[in-house]
Amino acid sequence: MPMPETDRLNFSGRLILISGGAGALGRAISTALHSHGADVVTNDVVDRSAVVGLDPAAMYVKADVADSTQVANMIDEILDTKGRLPDVVCCHAGLVDSFPIQDYPIEEFDRLMRLNVRGAFVLAQAISQRWLEARVPGHLIFTTSWVQDIPWPEIGPYNSSKAAVRQLAHSFARELAPHGIRANTIAPGMVNSGMTKHLWDTDESYRARAANAIPLGYLQAPESVADAFLFLVSSMADYMTGSDLLVDGGASLYPLN
């Protein structure tokens, strides 16, 4: 018989790792997963004391996901503390900078690609190797963006990095499906946090351009992104792999005129 809907969002007994969990969006995702019973391990590069709103009882691991040694040590620490591997790993860590394409600093390009693309790959590869060794299934969830398909001005490298991450996710999905390892992506729109919120609040020209690009007319709440994670983590998405879940308020329909 089908499982009752209320039970399908009960993640008790599920161990979930999220990279980049110290940011506003990462915290919203972690909070939502925890509220549904998941045991959430948060990863980021800042000290735990700098993370606002983290459950004191929750496990936090400081590590650079673009560094393979640090990632291996993080997985070992999770194994030592929890006694098992995560069931789901959310490759969420990322950054964005804004410069006209002709002025984009090369060092900033390298920094962004190192975290957004290399970081996602290093973490996904490392945990996949552990799942394969242990002969257990696993689920990779990558955070991409609506701009993976749309060349939004002044964030060209970010646009490109998210397109690359989507292709990486599809490759993990295609090659590891026979081993019970799935990979999917969530592509948010213009989220009301970080640089987007700052520009929306302070730059009238940006706000006018962004509002025109969002058919629904307002910035995306972080909680709506978290809801998409709840769905992909749940049993309702068990038959999904290689899928891209676009949750962007219609922004990918840009331009409107």
Quote the pLDDT of residue 256.
61
**183 or 195: whose pLDDT is higher?**
183
Looking at the predicted structure, is the pLDDT value of residue 36 above 90? yes
Residue 245 φ then ψ, to 5°: -95, 105
Quote the pLDDT of residue 6.
59
Residue whose C-alpha is closest to residue 233's, from 5, 10, 27, 41: 10
Quote the pLDDT of residue 210.
87
Looking at the predicted structure, is the pLDDT value of residue 160 above 50? yes
pLDDT category at 43 given cuts 50, 70, 90 is very high
Looking at the predicted structure, is the pLDDT value of residue 66 above 80? yes
Quote the pLDDT of residue 1.
44
Quote the pLDDT of residue 53.
87
- Ordered by start, the domain boundaries in the chain are 9-247
Residue whose C-alpha is closest to residue 216's, from 130, 146, 112: 146
Looking at the predicted structure, is the pLDDT value of residue 18 above 60? yes
What pLDDT, in 10s, does the model give residues 99-127?
999 999 999 999 999 999 999 999 999 99
Q: Given strand 181-188, what is the order of strands in its sheet?
A: 59-62, 39-44, 15-19, 88-91, 138-143, 181-188, 244-247
pTM of the shown model: 0.95
What pLDDT, in 10s, does the model give residues 200-248?
899 888 888 888 899 998 999 999 999 999 999 999 999 999 999 999 9
Peptide linkage before 255 cis (omega within 30 of 0): yes
**165 or 56: whose pLDDT is higher?**
165
What share of the chain has pLDDT > 70, as a percent?
96
Give exposure, 204-234, as e/b (b: 16+ Cβ within 10 Å): eebeeebeebbeeeebbebebbbebbbebbb
What's the whole-number average pLDDT of the chain? 94
Looking at the predicted structure, is the pLDDT value of residue 165 above 60? yes
Structure tokens at 212: 């025109």
Quote the pLDDT of residue 184.
99
Homologous superfamily (CATH) of 9-247 is NAD(P)-binding Rossmann-like Domain (3.40.50.720)
**Spatial distance between the Cα atoms of 177 and 73, rounded to a whole number of angstroms:** 26
* Mean pLDDT, residues 178-189 taken together: 98
